[in-house]
Structure 1
Amino acid sequence: MGPCLWLLFFLTVKEVAAFVHSQQLCQVLQKDAYCSDLNLTSIPPQLPSGIHTLDLSRNFLQNLTEDVLFSYPTIQQLNLHSNRIQFIQPGFFQNMTHLQVLDLSKNLLHLNAALKSHVGPLATVWNLDLSGNGLYTDMSDYFLQDAPFLTNLSLNGNSITKLGKETFSGCLSLRNINLHNNVILEIEEGTFDSLKDLTELDLSMNSISCINDFNLFSLKLLNLSKNSMTSFQSIDSDKEFELLHLDLRENKIHYFPILPSCNKLIYLDLSRNQLRSVNSTGAAEELQYLRDKEELTHAPLRGSNYHQQLPNLFYLDLSYNHLKEVPPDFFRSMVCLETLNISNNCLSTFIVDPESPLNAVKTLDLSFNSLQNLTFSGGTLQSLDTLYLQGNSLSNLDSGFFSGLPSITSLHLQLNELSVCGLQEDQTSNCVFLSSIPTLQYLYLSENNLLSLPAHAFQGSPLLILDLSLNPGLEISEQALSGLERSLTYLSLKGDQLEMHSMDLSLLRSLRVVDLSSNQLTSLSLSKNSGIEILNLQNNSLMFLEDHTLTALEGMLKTLYISFNPLSCCVNTRLIKWAQQASVDIPDITMVTCQYRNDNEENVEINLRNVKPEHCEILNSKVLVISIIAVLVLGLMVVLLVAIKLCHSRSHRFNHSYKA
């Protein structure tokens, strides 16, 4: 065989070996090739022709040149995520006329951009991911110059500080731009004006200080959260904006933003700002001040926009601000509002009046304020389903306050100072009625300093969940839960310092979860079969659980928590059997111990699973001896009594015969 034939043979073998090797490394399914996480330093050269998807993510590719991918002109999706790509040959993608999705995220493309060479054209690409590449201002231009059909672009996690007019000039079909987590300080006027189809723009987690001329009429979603914004103002126009979703959370905004006059907003998040007022006048005043200082020479100025029209608003979040009041007429136009969150502010008063009834609101969160006066006028909040009032230290509400909410399902009243009325209580009493609310299912009354729970406190309210925990010294009437026999499934009396439980829980036939932990219970009594599935008795004073209680629980009980109780090893035979045979799940079993006395009359602590019969033999033998002694003593007493009676009888007969 001549040298040429040897060379031909060698090359053929090498190609076959490369083909076999690539086939072994990559997983090929029909027209998709998956070559991720294979430590590849180059693109496999012998993949099947005609593939549509090529996944090369999480490898060690550094350079992209035409020679290999020229063999795969049919690729539609190319994933190069998490490699070390720092050079892309100019025109690398021009022969890939079917390429639609290109993922170049988490590479070193800032090194390629430093060469100032254009990567395109990306003639058919509609989804491009350039996130996490260390790109600075203007560097993205080398990738976007010729991408006429690009609709989705991600530049997330780069180091861009400025957006200019030319940034997106080569991709005018953009609909979705993600610029999250950059360092954007400046957006040049007109940057987005040429993007007529733009509907979603994410500028979150940047360093933008204000938006004073918002004019993107076609935009539907705008995320400006986690910036340093002090104000937001749209231009004054009679033209309708398409904006539906505006996220301004975690900024430094002082006054309510000046929104488009004609808007379709359904979602507005202003949480975690520095709002002092829902009046937007302050925003205009600040703009005037800046304009007077010639800091905003081109800023459009609008007057007070106190009563902004938000007729389509569905969700409004004003939580974690500095609001001291929210006037009722602020909500006048919000006829569609379903979720309103004003928690964690400084409100002392909150009023809902007939002029602004908020009758579409289903969830109202007023928790963690300083409420002293809470007024819901009659005929308002007709759809209110969930009300959060925890953390307000409320002590005085009209006794029938909650009865006027015809759709209320869930009440969160934790961390207040409320007391509960009995069924026959006077309407003028300083307590609230929680009975006869036919829609109420979830009630949370923990940490209310409740001292007593009267009989029939919840009669006529079909509660599923009742939390009465962390009310130390709570006295519970024997009939307190009367009326909940068929509805209540969850009951928490945790941390109430209960010494005994006078209520028979087995009467609550639907009860499935009971938390009696962190009390001072010495016993638990159930009179008949119970439906309880999860029972928490941790941190009490239980020495034993009675057999009739365990019998009532057996069959339904699935999970039992019982650690941190002074259990006795020798009177809890059935409980020990449960633990050792795992017939009931005891998640805290490693911490469940009991005590027995050893030969030296010392108390020994042992895990419940390690108890053996011999640990109680000493006690049992003592019991047997004591029992025998008791029987003997009793027998001797009986004999002695009989003897005395006989002697007395004989004496009586003798005296009688003598007299005769």
Structure 2
Amino acid sequence: MIKKPELFSDDICFEILSHLANDWKFIFTTCSLISQQWLNVIKHNSSLLNLSIYFNQKLNDEQKNQMSKCELLTCLSNVKVYSKIAKWFCTNIGIFMKGMIRLEISYCRLEAEDVNFIGEMKQLTELDISLNNINCKGAITISQLSKLTKLNVYQTKMGVEGAKELSKLKELTSLEIGDNHLKSEGAAHIAQMRKLTFLDINTNMIGNEGIELISRMEQLTDLDVMDNNIRSEGVKSLCKMKHLTNLNIGNNPIEDEGAILLGEMKQLKNLITACNNIGMKGFSSLSTLLNLESLVILGLDGKSTDFIREMNQLTRLEFYGSNLEPKGFDPISHLSNLTFLTIRGRNIADGDLECIGQFKKLTTLNVPSCNINQGFKSICGLKNLTFLDLSYNKIESVESITNLKSLTQLDINGNRIGHEGAKSISQLDNLTNLQIGHNLIQDEGIKYLSTMQCLTTLGVAENQISIEGAKFISKSHQLTSLDLTNNVIETEGAKILSELNNLTGLFVYGNRIRDEGAKYISTMQQLTILDIAYNEITDEGAKAISNLDQLSTLYIYSNEICDEGAKSICGMKQLTILDIDYNVLSEEVSNQLRMEYHN
């Protein structure tokens, strides 16, 4: 019998599959059945195809048996598991996936015995198992993964013994092990990992003794030692690390003496200081860091910023909660290379805004809660801005914002711009993300915003928007996320919004949509995130919402739902995050929900 020639070569099959790599189900259920050739191509090129799967719902017995027998299960490279089904995954499916390269199974309430299967995944190179209770026994399992290069075990109760086990991972280059009670003894074990270049060991109370041990890791380039009771003597040890370029030393009492020592680390490119008890003498020493590109400062209240004047190489600067002296902006105005600037939680005078308006290279500007009003006009000449946060200021007129033609994201929540402000903003043709809540724009403002063709994310919370406004919004068919929290669209408005077929995220907290409105929303099968809290919904509405097959996140608290409605919601297998508090539930059902969901 003459063998029929294949229609495509293996290379062409692989090329086709590579364009489908994000759709593992299609590859498994369709492509693999075309012929033996296609099946072999998938098997032999699984690592190159980089197939990913997100386990967010349980399988029934038949599906589980089919999957456990599936010879392609070992071909999956990237796996993420959601909390609700994590324990089920560990005992039923994980044991078959020995070809996995990357696994994310964070915040799942797993114990050490739940993760024993991971020890068999000898190909694993990246693992995120943070926010679980796996302790040092789990570390023993992880230590068997000889190919692991990237590991996140943040808040997993590792302790000193866990650190000892993890130190056996000789190929590890990146480790996040914050908040694990390591102290200096645990730091001693971590210091033995000679291939690490990235280390986050924050909140472990390692002290000066521990940082002295860490400083022996000469290969480190990135180090986060925030909140470790490190003092100036510890900074002296850090100075030995000649390859270190990125350092977070926030929440450590290093004071002036420690800051002066930091000034000797000339190779630093990114530095975060926060609550370090540094005075002007210490801050001044930072001006000698001429390779520094990014500087984050918290705790500069009332102090001079003269030390920044000479740091013209900075491209990123962030001030948090700092009330600068009256002329504090003058030195900052010399930083002509800034592309990213954040000033949060302090008063910015009109003159200061004029200084900011001179930073012609800025692409990102964050100035929330800074009591800005008339001076806003000064920054409207920044032609390169793509991201602007002006939230919670006192701005009333934004006519000049139309000059910012490059803006793609704008947060102007909590101001006083009204519908005229919305009219001006609607002329920003490149805007894709707009947050304009708490501005009294009303239905008239929504009418203007509905003309913005590029807008995909819109937040209009607390703006007195009614059914009429919902009609205008329904014209924006390109929207994928909509926040209408605390408006007055009611049932009819929900009916109108249900026409938005591209919407995947909907937030209608506090709109009195009731059960009938919930029924209309239940027709939006594409929704993955829904906030329908505080809407006078009963069991009838809850049952309707339970039909949303794609929903992974649901906030339905503060309604009038009883046990029957809650049980319908509980049957949503794909749901990973649920808040159903403050309803009329029995203790039995409430306890059941707490067991199912802990988000």
What's 1:347 paired with? 348
Which of 522, 525, 540 is residue 535 of structure 2 equivalent to? 540
* Aligned 8 A contact 1:157 1:179 in 2: no
Question: How far apart in 2 are the matches of 1:82 and 1:565?
Answer: 47
1:244 matched to 2:269? The reply is: yes
* Letter in structure 2 aligned against 1:318: F
Question: How far apart in 1 are the matches of 2:566 and 2:183?
Answer: 59
Which of 292, 300, 304 is residue 265 of structure 1 equivalent to? 292
Deviations 1:61-118 (A, max 9, x none): 9xxxxxxxxxxxxxxxxx85699xxxxxxxxxxxxxxx999xxxx9xxxxxxxxxxxx
Aligned-CA RMSD value? 6.0
* Aligned 8 A contact 2:309 2:332 in 1: no
* Aligned 8 A contact 2:242 2:267 in 1: no
Question: How far apart in 1 are the matches of 2:492 and 2:216?
Answer: 72
Question: How far apart in 2 are the matches of 1:39 and 1:418?
Answer: 55
What's 1:493 paired with? 484
Deviations 1:477-529 (A, max 9, x none): 365326522x2111122222444534722443322322223222354396997
Question: How far apart in 1 are the matches of 2:382 and 2:297?
Answer: 23
* Structure 1 residues 529-608: aligned runs within 5 Å: 532-533=526-527, 534-541=529-536
* Aligned 8 A contact 1:134 1:159 in 2: no
What's 1:397 paired with? 397
Distance 1:531 1:376, change over 3 A: farther
1:338 matched to 2:339? The reply is: yes
Task: Report the Cα offset of residue 213 of structure 1.
Answer: 8.7
Which of 436, 442, 448 is residue 445 of structure 1 equivalent to? 436
Deviations 1:382-439 (A, max 9, x none): 23222222222x24123242x2212212212222222123xxxxxxxx7662212111
* Structure 1 residues 94-493: aligned runs within 5 Å: 132-133=184-185, 157-158=205-206, 160=208, 187=233, 197=242, 199=244, 206-211=252-257, 214=260, 219=265, 241-253=266-278, 257-260=284-287, 263-271=290-298, 273-280=299-306, 308-323=309-324, 329-349=330-350, 351-353=352-354, 357-377=358-378, 380-392=381-393, 394-401=394-401, 403-421=402-420, 433-454=424-445, 456-458=447-449, 459-471=451-463, 476-477=468-469, 479-481=471-473, 484-485=476-477, 487-493=478-484
More displaced stretch, 466-475 vs 411-420 = 466-475
SS in 2 for 1:210: helix
* Letter in structure 1 aligned against 2:257: I
* Letter in structure 2 aligned against 1:388: D
Question: How far apart in 2 are the matches of 1:433 and 1:258?
Answer: 45
* Aligned 8 A contact 2:503 2:526 in 1: yes
SS in 2 for 1:440: coil
Give the fraction of aligned pairs with identical amino acids, expressed as a percent.
Answer: 17
Task: Report the Cα offset of residue 262 of structure 1.
Answer: 7.5
Distance 1:528 1:535, change over 3 A: closer
Distance 1:448 1:474, change over 3 A: farther
What's 1:516 paired with? 508
* Letter in structure 2 aligned against 1:406: K
Task: Report the Cα offset of residue 555 of structure 1.
Answer: 8.2
Question: How far apart in 2 are the matches of 1:475 and 1:515?
Answer: 16
The number of equivalent residue pairs is: 408
More displaced stretch, 348-357 vs 174-183 = 174-183
Question: How far apart in 2 are the matches of 1:453 and 1:262?
Answer: 52
Deviations 1:334-372 (A, max 9, x none): 333232111111224365559963233232111122223
Task: Report the Cα offset of residue 322 of structure 1.
Answer: 1.5
For normalisation by structure 2, the TM-score amounts to: 0.51
Deviations 1:130-177 (A, max 9, x none): 962499xxxx9xxx9xx9x999999984564999xxx99x98989889
Question: How far apart in 1 are the matches of 2:584 and 2:400?
Answer: 48
More displaced stretch, 174-183 vs 492-501 = 174-183
* Aligned 8 A contact 2:259 2:286 in 1: no
* Letter in structure 2 aligned against 1:312: Q
Task: Report the Cα offset of residue 471 of structure 1.
Answer: 3.7
Question: How far apart in 1 are the matches of 2:442 and 2:491?
Answer: 16
* Aligned 8 A contact 1:453 1:475 in 2: no
SS in 1 for 2:397: coil
* Aligned 8 A contact 2:372 2:395 in 1: no
For normalisation by structure 1, the TM-score amounts to: 0.47
Question: How far apart in 1 are the matches of 2:490 and 2:258?
Answer: 64
Distance 1:242 1:476, change over 3 A: same
Question: How far apart in 2 are the matches of 1:483 and 1:264?
Answer: 50
What's 2:22 paired with? none
* Aligned 8 A contact 1:350 1:375 in 2: no
The one of the two structures with greater contact order (alpha-carbon pairs below 8 A, sep at least 6) is 2
User: Where in structure 1 are there 5+ consecutive unaligned residues?
Assistant: 1-26, 31-35, 41-57, 62-78, 84-98, 107-129, 220-240, 281-304, 422-429, 595-606, 608-660
* Aligned 8 A contact 1:511 1:531 in 2: no
* Aligned 8 A contact 1:218 1:243 in 2: no
Question: How far apart in 1 are the matches of 2:384 and 2:286?
Answer: 27
